[in-house]
Amino acid sequence: MTFPNPPDIREATAARQGSDPAISPAASSVVVEARKLSLVYPTADKPVTALSEVDLTIARGDFVSLIGPSGCGKTTLLRVIADLERPTSGHVAIEGMTPEQARLKRLYGYVFQAPALYPWRTVERNVMLPLEIMGLPKAERQKRAREQLERVGLSGFERKFPWQLSGGMQQRVSIARALALQPDLLLMDEPFGALDEITRDHLNLHLTQLWRATGKTCVFVTHSIAEAVFLSTRIVVMSPRPGRILDVIDCDSLPRERTLDIRESPEFAAIAHRVREGLKEGHSYDD
């Protein structure tokens, strides 16, 4: 029986053990850098260009949202950063490393569209999964899992199974699981897309507080303008087919500390307007 996997993964894993990603030397303030990044999917009839000449720089501590209509390649861009897809051409660096090196060093935590919890594991054991793979001792795993579950407000749910939790709670567990790795970089792919608006508001507030408390760099994919403006320090507007960047909007006019009230402010409206204009320019509203 063989388990095909490049041997370098295990070596890199072994080299990584014991060192803490949080105290790795911060070489520069640039966390993610993409230059002329393109990705073309070969399909049966004609190749589909998912990303076309994307240039993007994400600084440490930023909360960057990628916004655009469905099929604009925002998820693809996130997956390229996470080394879940390989670009056709161009260059991308995470902390000065290739995406593969960054993945092997477990530099990022990834939150998917769906909670993607393993149904046979309890909430706590789901959060402990990445720590088991890292080879942490049991006591440490449990400690970290408890901490992160507390951070997302789910203390007391450790022994529950995923099906016993609501959709919003499941997604919070998946955020706790990503945080348990203690990554500097958090990649989130429409984590709240499937939730109702009330739950989504609640989780947005939770997420922005979490981001401020931890100082992590976040890349957040969404198709909600309000969500993007509320959470972000910078918003990247993307257009569909081929996926390219139309506009990068700084949200400096909003305070770093966000409450739900800021959504009524004129600054908020101005940024939302600019995002909408950007999307219009990219013919996102065309049929």
Partner 1 sequence: MTKRVLPVTVMTLLLLVSWYVGAAWLNWPQAVETLARAGNPAGFGDVLAQAYAMKRPILPTPDQVVVELWNSLTGYAPTSPRNLLFHTWVTTEAALTGLAMGLVLGILLAAGIVYTRTLEASLLPWVIASQTIPILAIAPMIVVILGNIGLTGLLPKAVICMYLCFFPITVGMVKGLRSADPLWLDLMRTYSASGMRAFWSLRLPASMPFLFASLKVSVAISVVGAIVGELPTGGQAGLGARLLSGSYYGQTVQIWAALIMASLLSVALIGVVRGLELVLLGRADGR
Binding residue (CB under 8 A) for partner 1 from 68, 130, 240, 282? 130
Q: Is 5 in the site for partner 1 (CB under 8 A)?
A: yes
For residues 263 and 74, give the distance between their C-alpha atoms in angstroms, rounded to a whole number: 24
Count of residues that bind partner 1 according to CB under 8 A: 36
Q: Between residue 55 and residue 84, which ones bind partner 1 under the rule CB under 8 A?
A: 82-84
The minimum distance between CB 63 and partner 1, in angstroms, equals 20
For residue 30, state whether it binds partner 1 (rule: CB under 8 A): no
State the minimum distance, in angstroms, from the CB of residue 200 to partner 1.
20
Q: Which position among 51, 77, 92, 104 is part of the footprint of partner 1 (CB under 8 A)?
A: 104
Helices 123-134, 138-151: inter-axial angle, 10-degree rounding: 130
82/92 with CB nearer partner 1: 82
Check binding of 163 to partner 1 (CB under 8 A): yes
Q: Provide the b/e sequence for 239-272 (b: ≥16 CB within 10 Å).
A: bbebbbbbbebebeebeeebeeeebeeeebeebb
Other Cβ atoms less than 10 A from the Cβ of 160: the count is 15
Query: Site for partner 1 (CB under 8 A): which residue of 72, 94, 110, 190?
Result: 110
Which one among 90, 112, 158, 226 touches partner 1, defined by CB under 8 A? 112
Please select the residue that binds partner 1; options are 132, 250, 252, 281, rule is CB under 8 A: 132
Q: Is 191 in the site for partner 1 (CB under 8 A)?
A: no
Q: Which stretch binds partner 1 (CB under 8 A): 19-27, 112-120, 209-217, 247-255?
A: 112-120
Is residue 285 a contact residue for partner 1 (CB under 8 A)? no
Q: Indicate whether 18 belongs to the interface with partner 1 (CB under 8 A).
A: no
Nearest residue (CB) to partner 1, 94 versus 245: 94
Does residue 17 touch partner 1 according to CB under 8 A?
Answer: no
Among 38, 57, 147, 161, binds partner 1 (CB under 8 A): 161
Between 180 and 237, CB nearer to partner 1: 180
Nearby residues of 237 by Cβ (< 8 Å), 6 or more positions away: 67, 68, 245, 246, 247, 248, 249, 275, 278, 279, 282
- Cα 93 off chain centre by: 16
**CA-based nearest residue to 106, from 28, 212, 24, 173:** 24
Binds partner 1 by CB under 8 A, chosen from 18, 120, 266, 287 = 120
Positions in the binding site for partner 1 (CB under 8 A): 1-5, 9-10, 12-13, 82-84, 103-106, 108-110, 112-114, 116, 118-121, 129-130, 132-134, 161, 163-164, 181
